[in-house]
Amino acid sequence: MVLEVKQPRPMWEILFSTHHTDIGLLYMITSITALMIGGALALALRAELFLPGLQLFSDPTSFNRFFTVHGTTMLFLWAIPFAAGVGNYLIPIMVRYKDMAWPKLNAVAFWMIPVGAALVWLGFSDTGWTAYPPYSIIRAGGPAAEMWIFGLKILGISSILGSINFIVTILKCRHPDLSIMKISLFAWSILSISFMTIVAVPTFAASLIMLYTDRLGISGFFNPAMGGDPIAYQHLFWFTFHPEVYIFLLPAVGMLYEIIPKFSRKPLFSYQSGVAAFVLLALISFASWAHHMFATGMSFTEKTVFMVGTLAAVPASAMHVFNWIATMWGGRIRFRAPMLFGVGGIMLFFASGAGGVVNTALPLDFITHDSYWVVGHFHLILMGTVSLTFTGFIYYLFPLITGRMYNEKAAQIHFVLAFVGVIFVFMTQHLLGLHGMPRRIADYDGTIPYWTIMNQIATVGAWIAGLSFIIMLVNLIKSAGSGKEADMKDPFEIGEEYYDYARREPHH
């Protein structure tokens, strides 16, 4: 591999290395594996919903287990590790340091992920990825739920350790000539999410312990039978996981700042507004958690505060979108695969953002709450924006990692299929929600013709998207082994600079 420190090394040396590129590679391989497993689970869920009645699953609880593991996998084993992997690869290059600040801590943070993944996958919990009590504490089957709790605990610690490493690397190990306002916007996005992780995740870590002791029956924090309050869990949970939504999103935003100017072949429109929007989003993300809970009977004042807090994220997000559009405007755009995915991601970011404004408007929230609208909305942002941009960035980093080029035509087919598939699935799910279909059901009323037809459209869309990712996998594997050798200065032949691993001028 092109970044190998000492060449060529045996595989085990890469596997147990503490070098940031090796760990970044491990992060990315793990997360792409998780993407494939989570995707397979999603296809099983969609296949079950193709027809009313139970076909694939013997009972609804098995369905619950599948969507729980699907959600947990996609969020904690795909989105977060992939961002950490790209960060590992690029942050030391971007701040021109020899490695991450603490290479061994970095390796520890990575190796916690397979452990957490094993706990989540071997357990197959059925609590839903939110694990709301009282179900999760008095009824959910063990040991699956315990394994899920410990898996999430380990993944949380891993992301905190990774975040500490990123913050110290960016703030303290930067090259002396490089001011903080000169590092790339991707580094800014990683810096923002690292701070957010450190503030947000401990809350969830604490509530996981409370959940566990509640399950043991030695405490009753969330157990109404023992005077506890299940709603308290929801507050703790969303205090972590609303910021977490932005932790999923911001790396994708940072990647778009890498892709858009390069492929538009035009300088970035405004660096400062990008930095300002990152900082704003990081702060505002903590002011909106309870909008997930409007239906739990909060006072009107609380609801209004959180509605306004949520809407405050719109201008900051719009600053990013404006920045990208203004960068593309008048540029000489080359639609290579990363750019296609980037532009597709921006389009769907707008669509999902518009849906989010509907969600946060109090009267509309009550109509859409716990319906398929919500499923469509958050999948549109996580799949449509985050995952498509991440996928674009896989293609973008491919030459840097392997020294070879992927098959451009297959990648473009992948984009078209994935984009169409995503729209089929998730736009249809918005409509399904408006027609009243509740989320998290294994079976639905077959006498409502809308529901059956739209579920079938969504399932076909999911199959299209699934096929497109199989094309990607084949493309990546085949091209990594025997693809065209890339020109490391300008692999995309667009006349723009590419990452130069050798130009780091280490100062330590």
Partner 1 sequence: MTTPDENPITRTSPQRMVKGILIVAITLAFGAAIIIPFWQTMIHNAPAAETKKLGPPETETGTQTSIGNIEVVKPQAKSNANVSAGAAPSGPATTSPAPAGTTNATAGPAGKPLTILAGASVQGSPNFDPDTITVKKGDKITVTNKDTLPHTVTSGTGPSDPNTAKQFDTSIIEAGATADIETTKLNPGQYPFHCTVHPYMTGKLVVQAGPSGPATTNATAAPSAATTNATAAPSAATTNATAAPSAATTNATAAPATSGAATTSPAPAATTNATAASRTGTTNATAGPAGKPLTILAGASVQGSPNFDPDTITVKKGDKITVTNKDTLPHTVTSGTGPTDPNNAKQFDTSIIEAGATADIETTKLNPGQYPFFCTVHPYMTGKLVVQ
Near partner 1 in 203-242, by CB under 8 A: 216-218, 224-225
Site string for partner 1, 364-403 (x = CB under 8 A): -------------------------------------xxx
Residue from 312, 247, 324 nearest 280 by CA: 312
Longest dimension (CA), the chain: 70
* Encoded tokens for 362: 């109090």
**Is 123 a residue that touches partner 1 (CB under 8 A)?**
yes
Cα–Cα distances in Å, from 30 out to 77, 120, 379, 473, 476?
Answer: 8, 14, 21, 13, 14
Piece of the chain touching partner 1 by CB under 8 A; list 137-145, 194-202, 311-319, 341-349: 137-145
Please compute, for residue 90, the number of CA atoms within 13 A of its CA located in the half-sphere on the CB side: 28
d(C-alpha 201, C-alpha 161), whole Å = 11
Question: For residue 183, which phi and psi values (nearest 5 degrees)?
Answer: -70, 160
* Binding residue (CB under 8 A) for partner 1 from 33, 130, 270, 456: 33
User: Bridge-partner residues for 404, per DSSP?
Assistant: 485
**Of the two residues 4 and 496, which places its CB atom closer to partner 1 in the complex?**
4
Taking the CA atoms of 168, 172, 177 and 181 in sequence, report the sign of the dihedral they define: positive
* Binding residue (CB under 8 A) for partner 1 from 52, 134, 202, 331: 134
Minimum distance of partner 1 from residue 10's CB (angstroms): 9
**Of the two residues 117 and 462, which places its CB atom closer to partner 1 in the complex?**
117
* Binding residue (CB under 8 A) for partner 1 from 47, 130, 141, 358: 141
d(C-alpha 213, C-alpha 208), whole Å = 9
Q: State the DSSP code for 141.
A: P
Q: State the DSSP code for 370.
A: T
Q: CB of 236 within 8 A of CB of 200?
A: no
d(C-alpha 51, C-alpha 297), whole Å = 35
Q: CB of 69 within 8 A of CB of 105?
A: no
Minimum distance of partner 1 from residue 229's CB (angstroms): 11
* Binding residue (CB under 8 A) for partner 1 from 16, 55, 61, 172: 61
d(C-alpha 134, C-alpha 232), whole Å = 11
**Is 435 a residue that touches partner 1 (CB under 8 A)?**
no
Near partner 1 in 255-294, by CB under 8 A: none
CA 361 to the chain's CA centroid = 25
**Of the two residues 37 and 351, which places its CB atom closer to partner 1 in the complex?**
37
* Binding residue (CB under 8 A) for partner 1 from 59, 176, 177, 330: 59
**Of the two residues 59 and 177, which places its CB atom closer to partner 1 in the complex?**
59
* Binding residue (CB under 8 A) for partner 1 from 302, 445, 490, 493: 445
**Of the two residues 96 and 377, which places its CB atom closer to partner 1 in the complex?**
96
Near partner 1 in 316-335, by CB under 8 A: none
Site string for partner 1, 6-25 (x = CB under 8 A): xxx--x---x----------
Q: CB of 246 within 8 A of CB of 281?
A: yes
Q: CB of 120 within 8 A of CB of 69?
A: yes
Piece of the chain touching partner 1 by CB under 8 A; list 120-128, 240-248, 270-278, 491-499: 120-128
Indicate the burial class of 7 (C-beta count within 10 angstroms; 0-12, 13-18, 19 or more). Answer: exposed
* Binding residue (CB under 8 A) for partner 1 from 362, 366, 477, 507: 477
**Is 102 a residue that touches partner 1 (CB under 8 A)?**
no
**Is 139 a residue that touches partner 1 (CB under 8 A)?**
yes
* Binding residue (CB under 8 A) for partner 1 from 124, 132, 195, 498: 124
**Is 482 a residue that touches partner 1 (CB under 8 A)?**
yes
Name residues whose C-beta falls within 8 Å of residue 461's C-beta, 6 or more positions apart in sequence: 420, 421, 422, 423, 424, 425, 426, 428
* Encoded tokens for 492: 């995309």
Site string for partner 1, 488-507 (x = CB under 8 A): x------------xx-x-x-
Task: Give the footprint of partner 1 on this chain (CB under 8 A).
Answer: 1-2, 4-8, 11, 15, 29, 33, 59, 61-62, 65, 98, 114, 118, 121-124, 126, 134, 138-141, 143-144, 216-218, 224-225, 401-404, 445, 477, 480-482, 485, 488, 501-502, 504, 506
